[in-house]
Amino acid sequence: MLDALRFEWTRLTTLRSTYWLIGIGLLCSLAIPVIAGIAVSDDPLIPETVAAGLNGGAAFGIPFLAVFMAIIGIFATGHEYRHGTIQPTLTALPQRSRLIASKILVVSAVTVAVTVFSMALNALAMLVFWGEVPGLFEDPLRSALLGYVVYTLIYTLAGLGLGLLFRGVPSALVVIFLAPLIIENLIFGLSFLPMADWLVPVVKFLPFSSGARLMSLNLMEMSGEGMPDFDYFGRWGSGGVFAVFAALIIAAAWILFKKRDA
Amino acid sequence: MITAKGLYKRYRKTVAVNQLSFDVRPGVVTGFLGPNGSGKSTTMRLMLGLDHGEGETLFDGESFTDIRRPMNKVGTLLEAKPFHPTRSARNHLRMLASANGVGDKRVDEVMDLVGLGSVKRKKPKGYSLGMAQRLGLAQALLGDPGILLLDEPTNGLDPHGIHWMRDMLKHLAAEGRTIFVSSHLLSEMQLMADELVVIGRGTMIFNGDVDQFVRDFTQSTVIVRSPSADGFVSALEGAGAEVAKGKDGELVVSGMEMGAVGHLAFTENVELSELSTRSASLEEAFMSATGSSEEFVAAEPLAGGANPAAATSPAAPATKTGGADNA
Residues of A with Cβ-Cβ distance to B94 under 8 angstroms: 10, 14
Closest Cα in chain B, distance from residue A92 (Å)? 6
Average pLDDT over residues A88-98: 94
Which of B64, B76, B98 is the mutation pick for testing A, counting most A CBs within 10 A?
B98
Please list the residues that pair with B31 across neighbouring strands.
Answer: B181, B196
- pLDDT for the residue numbered B305: 43
Length of chain B: 327
Please list the residues that pair with B63 across neighbouring strands.
Answer: B58
Inter-chain touch A261–B91, beta carbons under 8 Å: no
Residues of B with Cβ-Cβ distance to A84 under 8 angstroms: 79, 81-83
Inter-chain touch B50–A85, beta carbons under 8 Å: no
Q: Given a cut of 60, is residue B251 above it in pLDDT?
A: yes
Confidence bin at B321 (pLDDT 50/70/90): very low
Antiparallel, parallel or unpaired: β B29-33 and B195-200: parallel
Inter-chain touch A94–B83, beta carbons under 8 Å: no
- DSSP states along B118-158: GGTTS-GGG--HHHHHHHHHHHHHTT--SEEEEESTTTT--
Nearest CA in chain A to B135: A88
Inter-chain touch B69–A3, beta carbons under 8 Å: yes
Inter-chain touch A261–B76, beta carbons under 8 Å: no
A97 CB within 8 Å of a chain B CB: no
Distance CA B97, CA B100 (A): 5
Residue B310 in 3-state DSSP?
coil
Q: Given a cut of 80, is residue B323 above it in pLDDT?
A: no
Distances (CA, A) of A127 to A134, A147, A220, B140: 10, 22, 29, 54
- pLDDT for the residue numbered B309: 36
Residue A190: exposed, middle, or buried by beta-carbon count in 10 A (0-12, 13-18, 19+)? Answer: middle
| Longest alpha-carbon distance in chain B | 78
A15 CB within 8 Å of a chain B CB: yes
Distance CA A67, CA B108 (A): 37
Q: Given a cut of 90, is residue A59 above it in pLDDT?
A: no
The phi-psi region of residue A113 (left if phi > 0; otherwise alpha if psi is between -120 and 50; otherwise beta) is: alpha
Specify the long-range contacts of residues B308-311, CB closer than 8 Å, at least 24 apart: none
Which residues does B309 contact at the CB level (< 8 Å), separation at least 6? B298, B299
pTM: 0.81
Inter-chain touch A90–B49, beta carbons under 8 Å: yes
Confidence bin at B306 (pLDDT 50/70/90): very low
- pLDDT for the residue numbered B294: 59
**Averaged confidence pLDDT in chain B:** 83
Q: Given a cut of 50, is residue A93 above it in pLDDT?
A: yes
CB pairs under 8 A between A and B: 89
Residues of A with Cβ-Cβ distance to B79 under 8 angstroms: 84, 87
Inter-chain touch A4–B48, beta carbons under 8 Å: no
Q: Given a cut of 50, is residue B16 above it in pLDDT?
A: yes
Residues of A with Cβ-Cβ distance to B64 under 8 angstroms: 94
- Reported as a single tens digit per residue, the pLDDT across B123-153 is 888 888 888 888 999 999 999 999 999 998 8
Q: Given a cut of 70, is residue A20 above it in pLDDT?
A: yes
- Count of CA atoms in the C-beta half-sphere (13 A) of A244: 10
- pLDDT for the residue numbered B67: 93
Distance CA B71, CA A92 (A): 6
Inter-chain touch B99–A83, beta carbons under 8 Å: no
Residues of A with Cβ-Cβ distance to B95 under 8 angstroms: 7, 10-11, 14, 92
Average pLDDT over residues B98-127: 91
Which of B67, B91, B96 is the mutation pick for testing A, counting most A CBs within 10 A?
B96
A42 CB within 8 Å of a chain B CB: no
Please list the residues that pair with B57 across neighbouring strands.
Answer: B4
Q: Mean pLDDT lowest for which of A61-75, A180-194, B4-18, B216-230? A: B216-230
Distance CA A244, CA A240 (A): 6
Percent with pLDDT over 70 in chain B: 85
Residues of A with Cβ-Cβ distance to B98 under 8 angstroms: 3, 6-7, 9-10
Residues of B with Cβ-Cβ distance to A79 under 8 angstroms: 84
- Count of CA atoms in the C-beta half-sphere (13 A) of A97: 3
Closest Cα in chain A, distance from residue B87 (Å)? 6
- pLDDT for the residue numbered B297: 57
- Reported as a single tens digit per residue, the pLDDT across B189-240 is 878 899 999 888 888 988 988 877 877 776 678 899 988 888 889 889 888 8
Nearest CA in chain B to A85: B82
Q: For A43-80, b where at least 16 C-beta lie within 10 A, e where not — what string? A: eebebebbbbbbbbbbbeeebbbbbbbbbbbbbbbbbb
Residues of B with Cβ-Cβ distance to A17 under 8 angstroms: 86
Closest Cα in chain B, distance from residue A260 (Å)? 7
Q: Mean pLDDT lowest for which of A2-16, B199-213, B279-293? A: B279-293
A84 CB within 8 Å of a chain B CB: yes
- Reported as a single tens digit per residue, the pLDDT across A149-189 is 999 999 999 999 999 999 989 999 999 988 888 888 888 88
- pLDDT for the residue numbered B311: 35
Residues of B with Cβ-Cβ distance to A85 under 8 angstroms: 82-84
